[in-house]
Amino acid sequence: MTVARDDRVTIGRIERPFGVKGEVKVRSLSDVPGRFDHLGAVRVLVPTGRVSERTVTQVRRAGSTYIMRFSDVTTPEEAGTLRGGLIQIPREEQLPQSAGRFYECDLIGMTVVDEQGHELGLVDRVWELPGHHVFVVHQGNHEMLIPAAKKFVTAVDVPKRRMVVRGIEELAEDSHAL
């Protein structure tokens, strides 16, 4: 997955088209209450790497997701081209986090290493499970799930794009197991 590393932060992911008027269903990647209430101009980064500036004309809550309409998207086919797209806003519109908390957009693509410095892979996704988050780390076709807990994550350096973990040997999948 490609994430723009400039003056923008990612606040949502377009899951799929919704309805016949070109609306899209969006999963929030932000824990800021009301983040989607007053959106205007946003950037959409689709999985192909194409970036487009969009104007949000309507947002409404739909359970745990949002239904969003853009001014220049009027058909389900046009909305379908945005599937998987990341909705980004200027970083200055993002509220600062408290110590020990991080925005998902800052963690995606981060290099994960163990305490000896061996590279384990890159953070691909963050799963929000009841009670805690889990980092999905990929290296090639190998996937590792690391709980977002101080017991396992010893350091996160956002500017250097590096996460240090420990004690994950027992979590690693045994490739020789039946």
Query: What is the number of other CB atoms lying within 10 angstroms of the CB of residue 94?
Result: 19
pTM here? 0.57
CATH 2.30.30.240 domain range(s) in the chain: 104-165
Distances (CA, A) of 105 to 18, 30, 70, 71: 24, 9, 22, 25
Average pLDDT of the segment spanning 119-129: 87
CATH fold of 8-92 reads Elongation Factor Tu (Ef-tu); domain 3 (2.40.30)
How much of the chain, in percent, has pLDDT values that exceed 90?
Answer: 39
| Average pLDDT along the chain | 83
pLDDT band at 7 (very low <50, low <70, confident <90, very high): confident
CATH 2.40.30.60 domain range(s) in the chain: 8-92
Closest CA to 111 of 55, 161, 166, 41: 161
